[in-house]
């Protein structure tokens, strides 16, 4: 006697529990409906197929809730997403500002000694501009926290700054790559960590803020 039907049935039940967890809160009664329906399927294979379909339905509903942009987006999705998007830039800002070679540690003596000449001035400008642009990292985290905790969207000006900042960073990184192709790997890191990720986070935040009221979902 094979025990695979029992395994399938257990797997189906586990998937349906996951579905209940994935579905947005207001959809939980549908998870109960899916689970109870699976109990009525005599065939274990059919029950498993049913459960897989229900899991897909759950994921689709979760994604739909997210992309319709109401603030009911789950905090457990938004928090890691925002940390991923703005975390590296925030760390970069901290390092560029308060790190061993950060701008706060600069004084007249150091500038005079190590940043003399045109190349030194260029390096200084790059350090300061980096610290300023990367300040958008912690600002993005604060804006995300306000949205998650207080349900308050950021202002248009702040949204524009959060979007334009990474674009400027992207421009600089790409220019650096064009000027010095051997710096490709460094430029790629910068493009992703300080350009694309914060840009994606800022766009998502702006979009969520602009769609605060739940919109009716149409088939």
Partner 1 sequence: MLEQPRNWRHGYELSKETGLKSGTLYPLLMRLADQGLLDSRWKDSDLPGKPPRHMYRLTAGGLALARSLESEREEGAARPRRLSVGM
Which residues contact partner 1 by CB under 8 A?
27, 30, 32-37, 39-41, 49-57, 60-61, 64, 216-219
Quote the least distance from Cβ 185 to partner 1, whole Å.
Answer: 41
Cβ proximity to partner 1: between 35 and 96 the closer is 35
Quote the least distance from Cβ 34 to partner 1, whole Å.
Answer: 7
Cβ proximity to partner 1: between 55 and 161 the closer is 55
Quote the least distance from Cβ 49 to partner 1, whole Å.
Answer: 8
Quote the least distance from Cβ 18 to partner 1, whole Å.
Answer: 14
Give CB contacts under 8 A, 24+ apart, made by 158-162: 159/202, 159/205, 159/206, 159/209, 161/136, 162/136, 162/198, 162/201, 162/202, 162/205, 162/206
Cβ proximity to partner 1: between 68 and 129 the closer is 68
Cβ proximity to partner 1: between 45 and 152 the closer is 45
**Helix H or strand E encompassing 31:** helix 28-39
Cβ proximity to partner 1: between 56 and 79 the closer is 56
Contact in structure between 30 and 69 (CB atoms under 8 Å): no
Cβ proximity to partner 1: between 54 and 141 the closer is 54
The CA distance from 50 to 52, in Å, is 6
Quote the least distance from Cβ 165 to partner 1, whole Å.
Answer: 38
Cβ proximity to partner 1: between 61 and 81 the closer is 61
Contact in structure between 141 and 90 (CB atoms under 8 Å): yes
- What b/e readout covers 47-73, taking b as 16+ CB neighbours within 10 angstroms? bbebbeebbebbeebbeebbeebebeb
- DSSP one-letter string for 80-110: HHHHHHHHHHHHHHHHHHHSTT-GGG--HHH
Categorise residue 117: left if φ over 0, alpha if ψ from -120 to 50, beta otherwise.
left
Quote the least distance from Cβ 1 to partner 1, whole Å.
Answer: 22
Quote the least distance from Cβ 76 to partner 1, whole Å.
Answer: 22
Q: How far is CA 81 from CA 18, 69, 146, 167, in A?
A: 21, 15, 15, 19
């Amino acid at each position: 006697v094979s025990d695979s039907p029992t395994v399938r049935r257990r797997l189906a039940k586990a998937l349906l529990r996951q579905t209940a967890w994935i579905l947005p809160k207001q959809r939980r009664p549908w998870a109960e409906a899916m689970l109870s329906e699976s109990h009525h399927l005599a065939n274990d294979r059919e029950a498993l197929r049913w459960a897989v379909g229900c899991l897909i339905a759950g994921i689709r509903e979760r994604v739909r809730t997210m992309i319709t942009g109401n603030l009911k987006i789950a905090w457990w999705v938004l928090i890691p997403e925002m940390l991923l998007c703005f975390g590296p830039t925030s760390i970069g800002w901290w390092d560029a500002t308060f790190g061993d070679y950060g701008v706060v540690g600069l004084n007249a003596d150091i500038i005079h000694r190590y940043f003399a000449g045109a190349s030194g001035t260029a390096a200084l400008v790059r350090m300061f501009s980096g610290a300023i642009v990367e300040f958008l990292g912690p600002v993005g985290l604060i804006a995300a926290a306000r949205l998650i905790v207080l349900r308050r969207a950021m202002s248009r000006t702040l949204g524009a700054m959060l979007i334009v900042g990474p674009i400027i960073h992207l421009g600089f990184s790409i220019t650096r790559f064009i000027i010095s192709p051997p710096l490709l790997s460094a430029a790629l890191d910068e493009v992703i960590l300080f350009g694309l990720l914060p840009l994606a986070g800022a766009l998502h935040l702006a979009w969520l803020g602009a769609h605060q009221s739940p919109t009716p979902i149409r088939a």
